[in-house]
Structure 1
Amino acid sequence: MTGRALVICREAGRTYGRGPVAVVAVHGTNCQVDTRDRIAVMGPSGSGKSTLLHLMAGLEQPTSGEVVWPWYADGVGPKAWVRARAMAIGVVFQSPSLIATLDVAENTGLPLVLAGESADRARVRALAALDRVGVADLAGRLPDDISGGQAQRVAVARVLASRPRLVLADEPTGRLDRSTGRHVVDVLLAAVDEIGAALVVSTHDQAVGERLPTHWTMRDGRLHLHPDGGTP
């Protein structure tokens, strides 16, 4: 660990369904992400990587154990807490999920607007984030007019616009060719370095995993940590 804890999982697990049809996606997991950590969560599809990241982001609730964010101040109301978490934790999904009727700048600034920023302020921050990942020239284009690699860079910019403390990237290169995926990882690493955010990337691609110094492995919903940073 490299600094202050941003998220801690304490025996956190996630089961879908009940009884004989129950599926354990993540068994009781203990792990911690600190400031400026760079972690690759490796494992095949279906091993529980995405569910683990969703638990860390607060997008899903654990069915056992708990996930805590130590920077969260007790006494903050539920609505304020949801907004604070949304601004402090950014998630890059496998699919960019851009809204077809909004241009690139509007897509990038939308989470800020939803969090209460003015449209003008959100646009300023969106344009800065797009410039940070090298696609400022696409600001006025619609999603259907850009490539898959460009769309994923826009998705990275959308997360970075809020300058989060923690970025969780869930198979960010999973739908890209090797060259484009490598460039997206370059952009992502440079951007989190610039804003000083921690980064956790889930991937089944060994080449992506090797870009980060710390490796965790998911197998059948169980997380295996490697304190020396290496893979088994």
Structure 2
Amino acid sequence: MAPDDVLVECRDAALTFGRGAHAVVAVHGATLTVRAGQRLAIVGPSGSGKSSLLHLLAGLERPTGGTVTWPASAGPRDIGLVFQSESLIPALDVVENTALPLVLSGVPEERARRAALDALALVAADDLAERLPEEISGGQAGRVAAARVLAQAPRLILADEPTGRLDRTTAGRVLDALLTAAERTGAALVVTTHDPAVAARLGARRAMRDGRLLVAEEAS
């Protein structure tokens, strides 16, 4: 692919928390390129550095060594994020939660609501539109999170262990929703996971161990 297809690129990117004797290196010199339309699983056990690497890709953390750049996009503004932890606002119903990023970016409320309802329908969650977060299951919340990303139409979707706390059937539905969101928007999709079944549904795979991103051939 051409250089202008590169959405985010890490070159020897490192992330260290703390200093001196108490310093903890979360990511050791990772080099990774994510291109338009790519499907990538970053696999590894808990504590291997997967989430820290995703935070670097998203611009949520600044590298303490090396570089992270977004050559063919507007940077983190073109990125949709899906986290494992609960991210829905309890006081807002599902459609309001889905529309919120658009409203915060300046989209008129009615237009944002229509986009949110369309996105919810695409992941088969439009029947949840008027429910509060406490009234839906974990799997349903995962589909809503995917719809929120879909409504934003990002160029890159980063999902951090989105199925980690779900049973196999529910996890499959959430991953279906993320893949639908990526397909509909034309976005690249990067998913961190420790589940081989999830990784198998993505096109490419890289492994992390002890904060080090391994070459693709070592990811199995």
Shift of residue 190, structure 1, vs aligned partner: 2.2
> Which residue of the partner structure matches residue 178 of structure 2?
188
Amino acid at match of 2:180: A
Amino acid at match of 1:119: E
Question: Aligned partners of 2:142 and 2:20: how far apart in 1?
Answer: 39
Amino acid at match of 1:45: S
Which residues in structure 2 correspond to 1:165-176 (within 5 Å)?
165-176=155-166
Which residues in structure 2 correspond to 1:58-69 (within 5 Å)?
58-69=59-70
For this pair of structures, how many residues does the alignment match?
Answer: 219
> Which residue of the partner structure matches residue 219 of structure 2?
231
Shift of residue 206, structure 1, vs aligned partner: 0.9
Cα deviation digits, residues 39-61 of structure 1 (max 9, x gap): 00000000000010110010111
Give secondary structure in 1 for the equivalent of 2:202: coil
Question: Aligned partners of 1:124 and 1:87: how far apart in 2?
Answer: 21
Shift of residue 62, structure 1, vs aligned partner: 0.6
Give secondary structure in 2 for the equivalent of 1:184: helix
Question: Aligned partners of 2:127 and 2:58: how far apart in 1?
Answer: 31
Shift of residue 86, structure 1, vs aligned partner: 4.8
Shift of residue 96, structure 1, vs aligned partner: 3.5
Q: Is contact 1:168-1:201 (8 Å) kept? A: yes
Give secondary structure in 2 for the equivalent of 1:161: helix
Q: Is contact 1:2-1:35 (8 Å) kept? A: no
Amino acid at match of 1:23: V
Shift of residue 109, structure 1, vs aligned partner: 0.6
Moved over 6 A (4+): none
Task: Indicate yes or no: 2:151 matched with 1:150.
Answer: no
Which residues in structure 2 correspond to 1:43-122 (within 5 Å)?
43-72=44-73, 84-122=74-112
Structure 1: tracts of 5 or more residues without a match: 73-83
Q: Is contact 1:2-1:34 (8 Å) kept? A: no
Q: Is contact 1:2-1:37 (8 Å) kept? A: no
TM-score by structure 2 length? 0.95
Among 120, 129, 150, the residue aligned to 2:119: 129
Amino acid at match of 2:196: Q
TM-score by structure 1 length? 0.90
CA gap 1:2/1:70 in 2 versus in 1, 3 angstroms: closer
Q: Is contact 1:28-1:65 (8 Å) kept? A: yes
Shift of residue 152, structure 1, vs aligned partner: 0.8
Give secondary structure in 2 for the equivalent of 1:39: strand
> Which residue of the partner structure matches residue 79 of structure 1?
none
Question: Aligned partners of 1:52 and 1:156: how far apart in 2?
Answer: 21
Amino acid at match of 2:164: G
Amino acid at match of 1:51: S
Question: Aligned partners of 2:119 and 2:76: how far apart in 1?
Answer: 17
Structure 2: tracts of 5 or more residues without a match: none
Give secondary structure in 1 for the equivalent of 2:152: coil
Q: Is contact 1:102-1:142 (8 Å) kept? A: yes
Amino acid at match of 2:79: I
Question: Aligned partners of 2:2 and 2:39: how far apart in 1?
Answer: 10
Task: Indicate yes or no: 2:169 matched with 1:179.
Answer: yes
Question: Aligned partners of 2:23 and 2:162: how far apart in 1?
Answer: 29
Shift of residue 2, structure 1, vs aligned partner: 8.6
